[in-house]
Chain A
């Protein structure tokens, strides 16, 4: 039978998670309760964290930190996080957004997890606490690579450098159902410029690989170039590098590959879907 424990501090929860392989954190419940409701999760302990730090946002400075228990609705209510409103609004309906958390989204299986795609383009790090010690920051890409193995510890927050110019952060989720549905794919791009040229752009995809991925080919094609027709054309040509999309109920791998360059081109050119 499943038990539930409430933890008043993050380190208490981290300690239990490190010591008990059958302990699982529950935040918004959108992932864990499904497993319970459908009978896949019937043994072990669910951990609730009541520590206020878990739901804290620090977004005013140059380094942004968002607690793992912060919900999509809280992101949407925070004006300092306006560049993250598009990905937050893309998650479910209003009821899901009052529940679903940033931390949970890091664990959402493809084709879910669109907010994580945005964090990847922001170059975010995941704060992971193992045992009762203090947390360490892990690059999101490394975190995602090891996600399936599990056992990394308790995710307490995400951190990233605030984009200097919010208009240089782009996000688009492509789904077949309007106003929204599950992702066929999603694209996030952070495109800082200096002197009219892109400087170390970061582009990330959702649903184009088993976990959200960086589009290195696109980044190389854009780096140091002005964002003009030629650069966008080069980006489209490099769009599929490293992608390994799946065929699922939403789309075939073929369809995902076909439409990715099209939507990437439109996003970069500032054109509507």
Chain B
């Protein structure tokens, strides 16, 4: 079956690729475009490691048809840092030891980024809810929650989300 073209903005740059009609966005990002920030963890929407922002909304790229992303804005954790300067969430994840094996980290950062964009001053419960679709098997979540609250307290949500 012929592959289909799809074009969108990825982390601020125009990108295009060819996909199987029923191919998912995760495969296109990783195998087609070389952005390895979103990971494969389950293929069924339970783990959140493939989370990306599509037009600012968090979505699971493994469950998203790649061709449905035509013309949209896609952001991954690869695009969070401003050149050599880390995003406040990235710095807070470092400072709070919120990354251990690192596999859930890009998805966690993306979920946190989506939260702070809408809610710059979240409560702890709101942070917990925001990452409730993202599984971490190493940290026990507490360092991650602390990092997101620290980033919010430092104004991460206000400055840039």
Contacts and interface: CB of A to CB of B under 8 A. Distances in A.
Nearest to A182: B46
A124 B59 CA distance: 28
Interface string B21-51: 1101000000000000000000111001001
A46 B22 CA distance: 8
29 contacts: A1-B1, A1-B20, A2-B21, A3-B1, A3-B21, A3-B22, A4-B65, A4-B67, A28-B63, A33-B63, A33-B64, A34-B43, A37-B24, A37-B63, A93-B48, A93-B111, A93-B130, A94-B114, A94-B132, A94-B133, A95-B51, A95-B111, A95-B133, A96-B133, A98-B59, A99-B45, A99-B64, A179-B128, A180-B132
Interface residues of B, number: 31
Contacts of B45: 30, 34, 92, 95-96, 99
Contacts of B128: 179
Interface residues of A, number: 26
A38 B63 CA distance: 11
B99 interface: no
A38 B59 CA distance: 19
B68 to A, nearest CB: 7
A34 B63 contact: yes
Nearest to A37: B43
Q: Is the interface of A mostly helix, strand, loop or mixed?
A: mixed
Interface of A: 1-4, 26, 28-30, 33-34, 36-38, 46, 48, 73, 89, 92-96, 98-99, 179-180
B1 A93 contact: no
Contacts of B152: none
A96 B24 CA distance: 15
